[in-house]
Amino acid sequence: MTQRLTYHLESTNSLNDRQHGFREGKSVDTAINELLRKIKTARRDGKHVLVLSIDIKGAFGNLQHRAILKSLDASACPSNINRLFHSLLQNRKVTLLTPQGSATKDQKQGCPQGSCSGPALWNLVANEILNQVWPYNVHIQAFADDFVLIIKADTNRSLVEDTQSAITQFSSWCSENELDISTEKTNYILFSKMVRSPKITWNGYKINRVKSFKYLGIHVDDRLN
């Protein structure tokens, strides 16, 4: 079932090219190379560059079934595949053993335990935010649930304004899909000669600036060493 869904998505070019996770022809290397290329090109053009690394809390575990089914319906995948996933995800229940006896509740989020379909279903939902129209100076890319936003600008002020606007756009998608951001684990790195750090916030919480961050196992610092 998962193979059939994946084949449909890839054969119809349904997934955005900026999704590098769990896809044939894409890898950690392609994601890192794209990130570095975007940064270096913008710096050569004399731009200030801010890279925002976004942490989504328990992305796979908190993925809402309604969001998956909505994305499936919009993907124009064959009706038999669509029906199979609707059957798999609708009216699921989980039974817990407690000291007072067993308790049953509806399961409305998370990929089915042990399912190999999780990555494909996540990519399907994440495709929505990747496909949105972004400003010319904002680049978004992902490796599964690891998102980065690359914002370039001529001035400190425009860098902050454009970053905050991009955060608002990303945050709106998260809200629609009931996904939460870990503001403690979300941070940004600045490639610029600015003396003062831009003040970046997410829903009122300050986002910390770091000198380096680990992206898909590779340490990237603000000097690109």
Q: Is 149 helix (H, G, I), strand (E, B) or coil?
A: strand
What is the residue-level pLDDT of the chain in tens, covering all 225 positions? 788 899 999 999 999 999 999 999 999 999 999 999 999 999 999 999 999 999 999 998 899 999 999 999 999 889 999 998 888 787 666 677 778 777 666 556 777 544 688 899 999 999 999 999 999 999 999 999 999 999 999 999 999 999 999 999 999 999 999 999 999 999 999 999 988 899 999 999 999 999 999 999 999 999 998
Taking residue 176's Cβ as centre, other Cβ atoms within 10 Å add up to 13
pLDDT at 23: 96
Instruction: State how far the alpha carbon of 28 is from the alpha carbons of 3, 172, 213, in Å.
Output: 21, 27, 15
**Burial bucket for residue 88 (CB in 10 Å: 0-12, 13-18, 19+):** middle
Structurally, at CATH architecture level, domain 1-91+108-221 sits in 2-Layer Sandwich (3.30)
Question: Phi/psi zone of residue 114: left (φ > 0), alpha (ψ -120 to 50 degrees), beta?
Answer: left
pTM above 0.85, yes or no: yes
Domain spans, the chain: 1-91+108-221
Instruction: State how far the alpha carbon of 129 is from the alpha carbons of 134, 147, 154, 174, 223, in Å.
Output: 9, 10, 26, 9, 29
User: Which residues, 6 or more positions from 207, have their beta carbon under 8 angstroms from its beta carbon?
Assistant: 52, 183, 186, 187, 188, 200, 201
User: Which residues, 6 or more positions from 203, have their beta carbon under 8 angstroms from its beta carbon?
Assistant: 171, 181, 183
Residue given tokens 């200030």 in the structure block: 48
pLDDT at 113: 44
